[in-house]
Amino acid sequence: GSLPYYSTTAYLEWERDGASLWWFLLLFGVTRVLEDQSYPDHPERFDCWPQLLCRDGLTGRCYWEVERRGEVDISVSYRGISRRGDSRDCMFGGNDQSWSLNCSDDGRYSVRHNNRETSISSSSVSNRVAVYVDCPAGSLSFYRVSSDSLIHLHTFNTTFTQPIYPGFWFGFGLTSLGSSVSLCPVGLPGGPAA
């Protein structure tokens, strides 16, 4: 598959918001670890869910690719998502403030928004996921990247009422230890290929 080409497409810069970082996430490379990290308390920190937001909000058209290991959610969220407690109001995709793609190592994908989850069938496993958001058009699309081609997984159609922020969630329990994400250099100066 291919993405629509826009000369105004911007590429996400990887700037994590350390204030939102859950205590059991290691900021270097963003990896889920067992040891509590000694981050100072902050009102914007997620205090229960293993997740974080990027610092800068998006309002136009953006494309980025994420290399992942283990069970992770790749999400976008409004800045105002709740941060305290273990309710779904704080979890990516569990509310009307965020949209999320869950990826697992066994090839299962699912999307979630407003606590509605939809499973996605995929013919193979990929550790790389692409995200394309067109805020003015109200679309958010997730793709599986395979040998430099894009396989469409899901598109959310909505009306974005404020800037959205990329975010990541890192699974539960001991099986999620070592789950990680890193932003992939895309390096396409004119935008994605048509």
Determine the average pLDDT of the residues in 30-48: 56
How much is the average pLDDT of 48-74?
A: 82
Whole-prediction pTM = 0.75
Q: Following DSSP, what letter does each residue of 89-110 receive, concatenated? A: GGSTTSSTTEEEEEE-TTS-EE
* DSSP-based three-state secondary structure for 148: coil
Residue 139 sits at the vertex; the CA angle it makes with 136 and 144, to the nearest 5 degrees, is 140
Residue with tokens 């994400």: 181
pLDDT tens across 99-124, in order?
A: 999 998 888 899 999 999 999 988 77
